[in-house]
Amino acid sequence: MADSSGWSLDRRVGSASQLCRPWPAGEQLRRRVATCHVTRPALVLGSAQGNETVDAELCASRGVEIVRRPAGGGVVLVAPAQQVWMDFWLPRGDALWDDDIVSSARWTGEVWARALGSLGLSDLDVHRGPSVETDWSRLVCFAGLGPGEVTVDGAKIVGIAQRRTREGARFLTVAPLAWVPAGIVELLSLDVEQRAKAVVELASVARGLSKALAGAGSHGGSSVVEVVEREVIDSMP
């Protein structure tokens, strides 16, 4: 279906491997956005991360799918009803298109910031510079800060992974409901000392939507996922 702003809107349900597949060629001719609902837990690796990054045996024993997304960055843990996942497609030549890879994701972050601001969050910021790396950012997505990503009170709340092709650009955006670094760290190939250090150092780098929105008013009986999805869609240019 399409809305009045020229976007085609989709609701996609499936495993993370299904949701990370490229947009079909026939759907790459116009702006599109999909709300993505994953049906099983998955550890989603960046395109450049190797399988040695994760503890495959532990993931298998816990039913956690291991997926590689078509964009860079560190790992992201997703699970049913545990995040808001919005997938945007922008054809090359669109009015929102920007050849500069640093500034090209800015509009996406601004959409998210408007949506979260309308829900009562303050002290939001859209990162407008190049990527900021930390000791853990090459391993864990939310440990660093990339172009267009959104922070609240300095803690990352929305992650953005960008994939550019000759046809256009794809922006995979995720905001976890809760930030629990131990849940990610325990699935990685780290020794006991490294895991303990990572849990401590990653504790304050990000914030989950549920905690951030806790004091931002009633959701009218709707889930946080539904409310945020609706606000993001309403905020799109």
Q: Would residue 218 count as lying in a domain? A: yes
Number of domains in the chain: 1
Rounded distance between C-alpha atoms, residue 142 and residue 73, angstroms: 9
Length of the chain: 237
Rounded distance between C-alpha atoms, residue 93 and residue 10, angstroms: 22
The pLDDT score that the predictor gives to residue 2 is: 43
Rounded distance between C-alpha atoms, residue 215 and residue 218, angstroms: 9
In 10 A of CB 164, how many CB atoms?
15
The pLDDT score that the predictor gives to residue 1 is: 45
- Output the CA–CA distances (angstroms, integers) from residue 118 to 36, 56, 96, 204, in the order listed: 22, 41, 22, 24
Q: Would residue 65 count as lying in a domain? A: yes
DSSP sequence for 53-121: GB-HHHHHHTT-EEEE-SS-S-BEEE-TTSEEEEEEEEETT-TT--S-TTTTTHHHHHHHHHHHHHTT-
Query: Could you say which residues of the chain have pLDDT below 50?
Result: 1-4, 218
The pLDDT score that the predictor gives to residue 218 is: 47
Q: Would residue 3 count as lying in a domain? A: no
Q: Would residue 2 count as lying in a domain? A: no
Domain residue limits at 156: 8-235
In this structure, what CATH number is given to the domain that contains residue 55? 3.30.930.10
Rounded to two decimals, the pTM is 0.94
DSSP class of residue 38 equals E
Residue-wise pLDDT tens digits, 95-132:
999 999 999 999 999 999 999 999 999 999 999 999 99
3-class DSSP state of 226:
helix
The pLDDT score that the predictor gives to residue 4 is: 43
Residue-wise pLDDT tens digits, 10-33:
999 999 999 999 999 999 999 999
The pLDDT score that the predictor gives to residue 189 is: 96
In 10 A of CB 67, how many CB atoms?
19
Rounded distance between C-alpha atoms, residue 195 and residue 12, angstroms: 34
Q: Would residue 1 count as lying in a domain? A: no
